[in-house]
Chains A and B, each alone.
Chain A
Amino acid sequence: MTEAMIRKKPGMVSVKDMPVLQDGPPPGGFAPVRYARRIPNTGPSATAIFLAAFGAFSWGMYQVGQGNKIRRALKEEKYAARRAILPVLQAEEDERFVKEWKKYLEYEAEVMKDVPGWKVGESVYHSGRWVPPSTGELRLMFGDLVACGRLSVVMKSSVLRSATFLVICLFCWLTNK
């Protein structure tokens, strides 16, 4: 219906008399189309490309080397700082451990006071050396860290470290493994 309304000529009786709509070239024909291939064969030669790549590689690797030297120095500085404060941290942990150990000895004395021949704090091993306690009771707890104001450590993930593990952790932390 709409085609008839668009294309009608006046005096049209039926759709069969509609003027023909043809899709043809514009008047004067189309513009000439280039169909021949035009693939350029110019450009840098193989030697030029190779030298450019080699130059980029050398200069780039030199820069990488300089950057690595700078990074190594920065890392060394970080490790040196950590090594410097290690004794202080270990001393604090030792103080805390000694306090806990004393509390533990008092508790043991109170519990075992009726047992004859019990030496409080006596090592249960025969080697004669100091063996740290194997239970987790004397570990660094959440509350200890809050109490000594180490809130930044509290906010990080690892909270439970025992005194024996602390040394291992510090070692790994020092060398950033």
Chain B
Amino acid sequence: MYIAVPAEILGIILPLLLGVAFLVLAERKVMAFVQRRKGPDVVGSFGLLQPLADGSKLILKEPISPSSANFSLFRMAPVATFMLSLVAWAVVPFDYGMVLSDLNIGLLYLFAISSLGVYGIITAGRSSNSKYAFLGALRSAAQMVSYEVSIGLILITVLICVGPRNSSEIVMAQKQIWSGIPLFPVLVMFFISRLAETNRAPFDLPEAEAESVAGYNVEYSSMGSALFFLGEYANMILMGLCTSLSPGGWPPILDLPIFQKIPGSIRFSIKVILFLFLYIWVRAAFPRYRYDQLMGLGRKVFLPLSLARVVPVSGVLVTFQWLP
């Protein structure tokens, strides 16, 4: 038992890191194809060795740290962000019984980890000892916190339908019907809130290049910024995963025998990949929100809407005694 657990951990982390590396490449290539050009395709065939080249470059380059930065916090912040995005994968169910740790409060754990992610960003901004980084970090943190509220409310809506917070059970409850169908508007809201939560796609003003000089990670170079971006992409995969927990994790679409033959984890990965593609598509397609528009959207639109969704869902379930 004690030997199996590190093997399970490695079995999750190694593919995840590989996935993150290739997600960077996939994003560049998908965005390029949306914009009618080809992405990186020089390094390997179809650019498949590009992540390797990028990774080696970032590792081998000299890390420059500002002299007046608070050194230990400065070094710790990207590590903390990266570690948090990896740690959240412990409660993700890949197949029946394939969870690293089947916590009974799995969903609450995920939510707590994403709340802790804010600390990493604030630490990075504050310890860089630079006005721009600090402001960028504050804006980013404020955005993350606002959208976390709406994420929490939407998760409550899903939990009311599904019952306990055990992550495996949430997926098993999708067997009858995908939660995404009755809660389809909720799914859309969840998707958008997740985009905003990870400072991604149309909501990435705090880390846009032209504004605020790349935000909170302006003072980081090579490995530091590499860790930040790895953490952000790992977070993104996690978000894609959460969004795919709602429309059904591993039970197949239809109960056909051909779908039963494909292992559950592969069906799950396909769903996650679909959502990641949607993320990249959204990034390529829409212009960026201005910061006040972004915060207004979070507080004035998503928060009331997600609150409003809780009411009919819970009302219907209580009225007809359909509670889990």
Contact = CB atoms under 8 A, between A and B. Distances in A.
Which of A64, A65, A71 has most chain B Cβ within 10 Å?
A64
B95 to A, nearest CB: 19
A136 B233 CA distance: 49
B185 A53 contact: yes
Interface in B288-308: none
Contact of A68 (B312, B313, B324): B324
B176 A56 contact: no
Nearest to B161: A64
A61 interface: yes
B184 A63 contact: no
Contacts of A69: 322
A68 B324 CA distance: 5
B182 A57 contact: yes
B10 interface: no
B1 A64 contact: no
A66 B322 CA distance: 7
Contacts, number: 62
Contacts of B321: 65
Contacts of B161: 61, 64, 68
A56 B173 contact: no
Contacts of A71: 163, 173, 324
Interface residues of B, number: 23
A60 interface: yes
Contacts of B313: 61
A68 B323 contact: yes
B28 interface: no
A68 B318 CA distance: 12
Contacts of A63: 176-177, 181-182
B127 interface: no
A70 B162 CA distance: 12
A72 interface: yes
Given A61-B317, A63-B176, A64-B161, A56 B1 contact: no
Contacts of B177: 60, 63-64, 67
A157 B312 CA distance: 42
Interface string B166-183: 000000010111010111
B323 A61 contact: no
A69 B320 CA distance: 11
B1 A60 contact: no
A59 to B, nearest CB: 7
Nearest to B181: A60
Contact of B182 (A61, A70, A155, A157): A61
Nearest to A69: B322
B324 A72 contact: yes
B316 interface: yes
Contact of A53 (B162, B173, B184, B322): B184
A65 B181 CA distance: 13
A57 B217 CA distance: 43
A15 to B, nearest CB: 30
B163 A56 contact: no
Interface string B236-279: 00000000000000000000000000000000000000000000
Contacts of A62: 322
B182 A56 contact: yes
Contacts of B320: 65
A60 B176 contact: no
Q: What 5 pairs across the A-B complex have the smallest Cβ distances?
A: A60-B182, A65-B322, A67-B176, A63-B177, A60-B181
Interface of A: 53, 56-72, 155, 157
9 contacts: A56-B182, A57-B184, A59-B181, A60-B183, A62-B322, A65-B317, A67-B173, A70-B176, A71-B324
Interface of B: 1, 161-163, 173, 175-177, 179, 181-185, 312-313, 316-317, 320-324
